[in-house]
Amino acid sequence: MKYRAIKGVQDILPPDVYLWQEVESTARQVFAPFGYREIRTPVMEFTEVFTRGIGETTDIVEKEMYTFNDRAGRSMTLRPEGTAPVVRAYVENHLYSLPSPQKYYYIGPMFRYERPQKGRFRQFHQIGVETFGEEDPRMDAEVLDMLRCFFERVGVDNLRFEVNSIGCDECRPIYRRALIDFLTGQIDSLCSDCKRRYEVNPLRVLDCKVKGCGEIKKKAPGITDYLCSGCREHFDALRGYLELLKIPFRVNPEMVRGLDYYTRTTFEVTSEFLGARSAVAAGGRYDKLIEEFGGPAVPGIGFAIGVERLAALIKDRHGIREPVPTVYFAAIGDEAEKAAYKLASEMRTKGIRVELDYSGASLKSRFRKADRLKATYVFIFGEDELSRGTVRYKRLSDGEQGEINKDDVMQFFG
Ligand code: HAM
């Protein structure tokens, strides 16, 4: 074989693509009543959008970005995630001058140079939302409620909602100091990356995927013990609203997330099926990011769902329902074939799915093919039917047969 797709990058073929379409249209239907509107940003941004947005010392920026110079020597990056680009668009287009909160969603490919494995790809897709201009914890609960509603509508259950608060500029430095003090005693057991990280960005040590560092994480001080009163109240209120909405959740004080822009609320939705560290959706609050991008002091919160992981969950649970042809047209003889050709065009124009067969094969083999295609009806159209101005049909599910007037075909399908 001459050409192959790039490692970690995959074709989405039918029938899987139907599942993707369903998931995307469900997302649109679920987000609309919550007031979210679609935004489409480019797949490519100036590299600083991500280095500034996600953080210089995160795994994504340090080793996972597809970064290259364009012909004019400017550094460009294929988006590894959607939040930073949407914030860039929000600030650039002065969307903050519109009434708050502004709510946006996006659906599209993201790129990360990660080691491909089950549920992890180099090109993957996210359905994400970003909400600007509301810091009330009721908004955090609302966003999680929308996520719950989405999973309910796509028919995925047995999910774990994990929430945490990682504090703000006021309390995080105190926690950071405590964490550094703790890590100083563990420095020899840290992996080489974490030895470097521990002073620059110690929270990233808690997100390290190396096993030894994971053991250390278990003994590390928890951020929730260091929250300032404002963050604590916000987190308590969020939990109260989640209970009010009956969203089952668990507080996971170890969850810090792999992106630097988060403040206060963070969350992940995980499933046993995806394995220990795999989230199907994740997100959180980023109350400083808009200012960081040169915008006003506007808080933000959002999440992104991993479509590949979600599709795997749905496929495992429900399989895929691929649309099948309604009519398989078996015309016999030149004149009948011509008339069938014309009738099929009229039926398709009205939205009826018709498969035409140009093979001239025997009726028996055409029936076999109609069966394989799972057609609902076979239409038989020969010299006799042609002269009578009718079409004979057979319903494959129960063998019911009949003859209808050619002009009544549309009514036949209601
Ligand atoms: P994230 O946790 O990096 O957050 O990604 C969100 C979701 O995207 C993950 O939970 C996972 O389902 C999926 N995902 C991430 N990387 C891969 C991969 N290599 N292969 C397959 N799926 C993957 C963000 O991206 C944030 N922008 C979310 C957010 C929005 N926070 C606030 N607003």
Model pLDDT for residues 86-113, shown as the tens digit of each residue: 999 999 999 999 999 999 999 999 999 9
Is residue 128 lining ligand 1, measured as CB closer than 6 Å?
yes
Is residue 254 located within the same domain as residue 130? yes
Is residue 148 located within the same domain as residue 176? no
pLDDT digits (tens, 9 = 90+) for 129-185: 999 999 999 999 999 999 999 999 999 999 999 999 999 999 999 999 999 999 999
Is residue 151 located within the same domain as residue 184? no
pTM above 0.85, yes or no: yes
pLDDT for the residue numbered 276: 64
Domain boundary among 291, 318, 345: 318
Q: Does residue 10 lie within any of the structural domains?
A: no
Q: Which amino acid is at 44?
A: M
Is residue 344 located within the same domain as residue 298? no
The pick from 79, 88, 110, 313 for probing ligand 1's pocket by mutation, whose C-beta has the most ligand atoms within 8 angstroms, reads 110
Is residue 279 lining ligand 1, measured as CB closer than 6 Å?
yes
How many A from CA of 88 to the centre of ligand 1?
18
Closest atom of ligand 1 to 122 CA is 19
Is residue 104 lining ligand 1, measured as CB closer than 6 Å?
no
The pick from 63, 259, 269, 286 for probing ligand 1's pocket by mutation, whose C-beta has the most ligand atoms within 8 angstroms, reads 259
Q: Does residue 6 lie within any of the structural domains?
A: no
pLDDT for the residue numbered 35: 98
Is residue 299 lining ligand 1, measured as CB closer than 6 Å?
no
Strand partners, 215: none
Q: Does residue 353 lie within any of the structural domains?
A: yes
Residue nearest to atom 2 of ligand 1 (CA): 282
Q: Which of 140, 270, 252, 261 is nearest to 206 (CA)?
A: 252
pLDDT digits (tens, 9 = 90+) for 344-355: 999 999 999 999
pLDDT for the residue numbered 277: 64
CATH number, position 236: 3.30.930.10
Residue range(s) defining the domain that contains residue 202: 172-220
Q: Does residue 8 lie within any of the structural domains?
A: no
Residue nearest to atom 30 of ligand 1 (CA): 303
